[in-house]
Every structure is written in C-alpha cells, then in structure tokens.
Amino acid sequence: MDEILTTVESSFNLKFSTYELQHVTTFGELCDIIISKITLQEVSDCTSQQAFYKLRKALSFIAPTATVLPSTELKYLLPWRKRRQLWRLVEKQLGFTHNLIGMSGTAAVAVATAFLASLASLFINAADGATGLISTVVAAIILDKTGRSLRANTVRECIEQMIREQYLKSRSNPNTFNRTEVVEQLQALFIDRLALEPSALTRDARFS
C-alpha cells in the first residue's frame, strides 16, 4: 500500500499527511479523499488520446519513418542493443521518466525466490540470512538498472502504464484533470499492483 500511495502522490501531484488516511477503510473512501485533494481545473477530455499523441511524437524522434499505432509492438521501435539509450531519448521528449525497461520476468521470480529463502534463513542463522537479504536487494537493483526487458509489449500498453503512474504528466495540459478518469486510473493501479480481479475492487472493497 505504501508503494501504491507513493505512486498516487506522484501521479496526481499531491501529498498525504502522516495520519490523513488512518480512518480510511474502503476503496471508495480513498478515491473520495484523492479527488478532493486535486485542486486543478476539471475538464472532460480524454487522457488516453492525449497520451498517445504525446508518446507517438516522442517515438518519432527515434524512429522518424515508423508508423506508430496503438497496436505497434515496442520491440520494433526499441531494439534490444540500444533499448535503454533510445528510451532515455524518448523520455527526454516526453518531459518525464517512465519505468518501461527493467529486469526480465524470469529474473524477477529468481530474485523473489532468493529473497524469501533469505528471509526464512534468518530464523536459522541470522548472519547468513541478513547477508542473503542484502545480496538479494543489491542484485535486484542491479538487474533492474541493467535489464532490457519491456514492461509493456505494445504502444497501447505503454500508454496505459503511463496514465496509471504519471496521470497529469501524460496529459497535454498537466494543470487539468478529468474527475471520471481519476477513479478509473486508481482502479487500474490497484488491480495492476495487487493482482486483483476487477470485480473485487468496488467502492465498498475494504482494505482489511
């Protein structure tokens, strides 16, 4: 939850006070608080469309002759060898960073397994367990910083991630927001990060 709330703060440019959410028990209550904290001009335009045009323009900087559609696969626009270098150029054109590239799914599973094993070994040998935990964290950071796997396969998936994690920066005018979209993006963020079924995340869904 801490990670999700940090993403929410960044995405909507707001800040939660220390005890502001201590009495929040349902997803609907959280959405209401978040919306009430957004003091920007409310409009009814579509962020997905704006984000697509913004990303397409940025991608044209590295692939000027490519036809970029929502269904376009990113691996053709960001070839393996220069993937990180090219994406940094795209981020520069976007005007913000987006964590599109990182460790592979296989590496992530291996790191998670090693972390859990090290955590369990703490009860057997504290020193070995602590060493294992530190080594796992360091390995995770290195793999994430040097990996070249894509978190999204298509332009559409990349746009969906951008809006979930950088809602205001994905818009043409970051000083505006669409109230209806806020709840939709919060739902998408929780479903993605917590691996929830969409039907389970209603306004009355409780956090405990």
Same domain, 178 and 199: yes
pLDDT given at position 108: 79
Asked whether 105 and 77 are in contact (CB, 8 A), the reply is no
Same domain, 93 and 141: no
Same domain, 110 and 171: no
Tens of pLDDT, residue by residue over 165-195, are 999 999 999 999 999 999 999 999 999 999 9
Rounded Cα gap, residues 132 and 162, in angstroms: 34
Beta bridge partners of 176: 41
175 token code pair: 């000083």
Structural domain tally of the chain?
Answer: 2
Same domain, 70 and 135: no
Same domain, 73 and 112: no
Same domain, 50 and 80: yes
Residue 162: name the closest of 72, 85, 49 by CA: 49
More confident residue, 130 or 82: 82
Asked whether 162 and 173 are in contact (CB, 8 A), the reply is no
Same domain, 65 and 94: yes
Beta bridge partners of 177: 42
Same domain, 179 and 85: yes
Same domain, 180 and 160: yes
Tens of pLDDT, residue by residue over 37-80, are 999 999 999 999 999 999 999 999 999 999 999 999 999 999 99
The parent domain of residue 135 ranges over 105-146
pLDDT given at position 59: 98
